[in-house]
Amino acid sequence: MLKNQWVSDVSQAGPVLAVIGHSIRRPFMSNTHLQSAGAKFRAAVAAEQPLQVVGAITAYAAKMAQAVGFKAVYLSGGGVAANSLGIPDLGISTMEDVLIDANRITNATDLPLLVDIDTGWGGAFNIARTVRSFINAGVAAVHLEDQVGQKRCGHRPGKEVVPIDEMVDRVKAAVDARTDDQFVIMARTDAAAAEGIDSAIERAVAYVEAGADMIFPEAMKTLDDYRRFKAAVKVPILANLTEFGSTPLFTVDELREANVDIALYCCGAYRAMNKAALNFYETLRRDGTQKAAVPTMQTRAELYDFLGYHEYERKLDELFAQGKK
């Protein structure tokens, strides 16, 4: 049974499951009114222009994103490499590495999750296995890119792309593998840096013809670039607003005017988290105490609030109070 066929209203699953929330769900067999993860993502894209999708490198980060009102979250392949494995984003991490973190996020929140699957981790059968694995993990959408297998970060020099026919075959393999027709296959093109914007648009059109639901033109430099892509592909397009990259940090109003459908903030949260952690380590090592860093920390009360900690405790007390009398 697919993970996206699980009850999202856990209050129907009894008192214990209701408290534990989206970490424990029960399957259903006949409720056709519940949306799949992919359907939720499509609905979110249709409802908010541009849809702000924020990177969530941990399950806890995803819960915070949901609490402040975001409607979708993202798992970066480079983020998994750096934060979970401590390695650079150079095509070293595996499908299983990313799948572990994706599972943790989909178990913690019912927000639709978009996942970076790099080049799909192999040929047609590998790509098919990748797509099915992420559908089964409750993921809503994946983006698949046209770089060579030994890929680089999308905002670094020296990128190489595969021939257009090879990427078309990747897209076809991904689309054919879907077990949920609402699951989103997004094609990313890195060709603008290597071949120019006209070639990148030509590629994107071919990817849509091959079945891609949405297009991710990487490392665009102007709003007009996005306008040209949208006019050509006529499907939702994504702008990756990564800090310290090639794309200016456009506002949502600017992106809306350029007909961008999704504004992705892939790495900002974990960059801020990592800077805060480094500040803590440096302060503690320098001062011999963490006192100076305490004002920058999330409090215990805030942590517990996002986790629903006290609800868990109350349920434990209710369940086991009789045994303590």
State the CATH number of the domain containing residue 65: 3.20.20.60
pLDDT of residue 201: 97
Give the residue ranges of the annotated binding site: 76-78, 116, 118, 153-154, 188, 218, 240-242, 271, 300
Question: What SS3 class is residue 263?
Answer: strand
Task: Compute the CA torsion angle 129, 133, 139, 140 (nearest 10 deg).
Answer: 30
pLDDT of residue 7: 31
**Active-site residue, 143 included:** yes
Q: Which among 269, 284, 302 is the end of a domain?
A: 269
Q: In this structure, what DSSP letter does residue 188 have?
A: E
- 18 in any annotated domain: no
Residues 117 and 254 in one domain: yes
Q: In this structure, what DSSP letter does residue 283 have?
A: H
Catalytic residue among 4, 153, 178, 266: 153
Catalytic residue among 143, 152, 170, 203: 143
Catalytic residue among 218, 225, 266, 267: 218
- 20 in any annotated domain: no
Q: Which among 251, 269, 287 is the end of a domain?
A: 269
Residues 258 and 311 in one domain: no
Does the structure show a pLDDT above 50 at 166? yes
Residues 123 and 235 in one domain: yes
**Active-site residue, 224 included:** no
Residues 109 and 205 in one domain: yes
- 29 in any annotated domain: no
Catalytic residue among 89, 190, 213, 225: 89
* pLDDT tens string 70-119: 999 999 999 999 999 999 988 899 999 999 999 999 999 999 999 999 99
Measured CA to CA, the distance from residue 105 to residue 27 in angstroms comes to 18
- 310 in any annotated domain: yes
- 21 in any annotated domain: no
Give the residue ranges of the annotated binding site for Mg(2+): 116, 118
Residues 297 and 243 in one domain: no
Catalytic residue among 110, 240, 266, 270: 240
**Active-site residue, 302 included:** no
The pTM score is 0.86
* pLDDT tens string 115-165: 999 999 999 999 999 999 999 999 999 999 988 755 655 455 557 889 999
Does the structure show a pLDDT above 70 at 307? yes
Q: Which among 231, 247, 269 is the end of a domain?
A: 269
Residue 90, Ramachandran bin (φ over 0: left; ψ between -120 and 50: alpha; else beta): alpha
On whether the CB atoms of residues 259 and 229 are closer than 8 A, the answer is: no
Residues 228 and 298 in one domain: no
Q: What percent of the chain has pLDDT over 70?
A: 85
pLDDT of residue 101: 98
- State the pLDDT confidence band at 216, using cuts at 50, 70 and 90: very high
**Active-site residue, 48 included:** no
Beta strands (DSSP E) in 34-163 are 51-55, 73-75, 113-116, 141-145
pLDDT of residue 324: 63
Residues 75 and 93 in one domain: yes
Q: In this structure, what DSSP letter does residue 2 have?
A: -
Number of structural domains found in the chain? 2
Residues 176 and 280 in one domain: no
**Active-site residue, 116 included:** yes
Q: Which residue has the higher pLDDT, 122 or 10?
A: 122
Residues 165 and 139 in one domain: yes
Give the residue ranges of the annotated binding site for substrate: 76-78, 153-154, 188, 218, 240-242, 271, 300
Q: In the block, which residue shows the tokens 């046209």? A: 146
Task: Write the CB contacts of 119 (distance below 8 Å, at least 6 apart in sequence).
Answer: 91, 144, 145, 146, 147, 148, 149, 151, 170
Residues 314 and 239 in one domain: no
pLDDT of residue 22: 42
Residues 113 and 170 in one domain: yes
Q: In this structure, what DSSP letter does residue 80 have?
A: I
Q: Determine the average pLDDT of the residues in 280-308.
A: 96
Residues 301 and 245 in one domain: no
**Active-site residue, 240 included:** yes
pLDDT of residue 155: 56
- 70 in any annotated domain: yes
Look up the domain containing 196 and give its range.
37-269
Task: Label residue 321 exposed, middle or buried (CB < 10 Å: 0-12, 13-18, 19+).
Answer: exposed
pLDDT of residue 151: 60
pLDDT of residue 10: 34
- 324 in any annotated domain: no
Tokens of 92: 């070293």
- 17 in any annotated domain: no
